[in-house]
Amino acid sequence: MNIVLSGYPASGTTTLAMRLADRYSFTRIEAGEIVREAAEAHGQSLVAFDQTLCENEELDRELDAKIRSRVAEYNRVILESCYSGHRLDNTALHIWMTAPHKQRIRRFADREGISVAKASERVPSIERSIRFRAREFYGIDIEDRQVYDAVINTGEATVSESFEQLQNLLFEEDLIVKPPSV
């Protein structure tokens, strides 16, 4: 059984996936981590590698296959991915995570240890790359929210409230067992 959390950078996917994996013993696979490993293996910065992926469909498909292969190795997976999750078998729930753009810029800057100005350049570039590769290489419109089972706006809630919302979706779908009330 796979649960997929999708969203643009700094939308809360990693934070919530880590909590869910820890609490309910899921294996967490982060597509971004696999991309970072590939960038390093190619001797490129993440920014340069992002451009390489836009220009090299075969390489992007290799990474996508690696992500899907890694998911197939486990029984209970939480995958963080913008578009690989669209093509997984055995996906029980696919959720889009969102937050206001300015809030994601600040989160990204904090996480990456860069200025807000630098994050303001980098985040839109990443978003364009993700949209381009999803559309051009896989025919996926990640902006079409109808393909997701739910949308969680992490900008309107605390991390705990967002986690509770995610957890409740999983309870409703009988994907996790609700702990007994105390």
- pLDDT above 90 for 175: no
The model's pTM is 0.88
- Residue 100 vs residues 19, 132, 145, 155, 161: alpha-carbon distances, Å: 22, 21, 16, 6, 16
CATH of the domain at 51: 3.40.50.300
Whole-angstrom distance, CA of residue 40 vs CA of residue 148: 32
Domain assignment present for residue 178? The answer is no
Q: Lowest-pLDDT range, 38-47, 84-93, 95-104, 173-182?
A: 173-182
Domain assignment present for residue 138? The answer is yes
Domain assignment present for residue 174? The answer is no
What is the total count of domains within the chain? 1
Domain assignment present for residue 150? The answer is yes
Instruction: Give residue 153's pLDDT.
Output: 94
Domain assignment present for residue 164? The answer is yes
Instruction: Give residue 114's pLDDT.
Output: 95
Taking a C-beta distance cutoff of 8 angstroms, is the pair 16, 154 a contact? yes
Domain ranges, residue 77: 2-168
Instruction: Give residue 119's pLDDT.
Output: 96
Across the range 76-90, mean pLDDT stands at 82
Please choose, from the candidates 160, 155, 156, 138, the residue with its C-alpha nearest in 3D space to the C-alpha of residue 147. Answer: 138
Please give the single-letter amino acid code of residue 144: D
Domain assignment present for residue 117? The answer is yes
Domain assignment present for residue 176? The answer is no
119-160: pLDDT as tens digits: 999 999 999 999 999 999 999 998 888 888 899 999 989 999
Burial profile 5-28: b = 16 or more Cβ within 10 angstroms, e = fewer = bbbbbbbbbbbbbebbbeeeebeb
Instruction: Give residue 181's pLDDT.
Output: 58
Domain assignment present for residue 71? The answer is yes
Instruction: Give residue 182's pLDDT.
Output: 46
- E strands, the chain, in order: 2-7, 27-30, 77-80, 91-98, 150-153
